[in-house]
Copies of this chain bind each other. A is one copy, B any other.
Amino acid sequence: MRKAYDQQVESITADLVEVTRLVGSAMNRATQALLDADLQLAEAVIDFDAKVDILTSGIDERCFELIALHPGVADLRLLLGAMRISSSLERMGDLAEHVAKQARMRHPRIAAPQAVRATFAEMGGLAEAIVSKTGSVIATQDISLCVDIARHDEEMDRLHRELFTIVLSPAWKYGVEEAIDVTLLSRFYERYADHAVSVSKRVITIITGEPYVAVSLTD
């Protein structure tokens, strides 16, 4: 009984790590689709999100069943934490899909104009780094990595602000439509990083028992 429970918990953890890999790949490809106005790649990312949804809702169901089938034995902190993590990862998948949809909507024009191309490429790289470390935190429970995640998130916030400066500068030679695209896209990357931070904080609450609201990664 206990062994089956332990195996289930291991398999839930492995699946959460797998989902970080999937939503990382989704954001990576969404960024490519955005920078190259690659319609096929954008479509692929959009279709792919259903896979993330199925995996995360499967994780939720298994957490629920474990709590129900092992009352008084199941580690609530771990399993409820896993459900919250799954929900953040699912949302990260949605945000990658949003980037891809924006790329698709403007095709064949590139939704990210030349002046902000480098910044979005950088945001894509940061998203990749942050989600890969998030996967490592879940897999290894090495919460020292959470500080790196927080630093990446700060850098993402800085790029998010930088984009507003670029769009609002007198040198902005594009129109209102391009400004709206940049605003929305930038917000998707920024929220993606926020969710990764949220996941890393959940891992800390699982390991330390500290309440979520009290977890601070930067001080």
A172 and B57 CA atoms in complex are apart in Å by 43
Minimum CB–CB distance from A87 to chain B (whole Å) comes to 8
| 0/1 string, A165-207, CB within 8 A of B gives 1 | 0011000100011011001100100000000000000000000
Contact partner, A167, options B68, B84, B168, B176, Cβ 8 Å = B176
Chain B residues closer than 8 Å to A176, beta-carbon distance: 167-168, 172, 176, 179
A164 and B184 CA atoms in complex are apart in Å by 12
Minimum CB–CB distance from A46 to chain B (whole Å) comes to 18
Chain B residues closer than 8 Å to A72, beta-carbon distance: 71-72
- CB-based contact B76/A211 at 8 Å: no
Chain B, residue nearest A172 (CB): B176
Decide: A180 near B177, CB < 8 A? Known: A64-B80, A80-B64: no
* A148 CB within 8 Å of chain B: no
Contact partner, A180, options B61, B167, B213, Cβ 8 Å = B167
A67 and B187 CA atoms in complex are apart in Å by 37
Contact partner, A187, options B167, B177, B187, B211, Cβ 8 Å = B187
Minimum CB–CB distance from A30 to chain B (whole Å) comes to 18
Chain B, residue nearest A83 (CB): B80
Question: Would you list which residues of chain A between 204 and 219 have a CB under 8 Å from chain B?
Answer: 211-213
* A53 CB within 8 Å of chain B: yes
Contact partner, A213, options B53, B179, B187, B212, Cβ 8 Å = B53
Chain B residues closer than 8 Å to A68, beta-carbon distance: 76
- CB-based contact A177/B168 at 8 Å: yes
Contact partner, A57, options B177, B183, B187, B213, Cβ 8 Å = B213
Which of A172, A180, A211 is the most central at the interface, judged by chain B CB atoms within 10 Å of its CB? A180
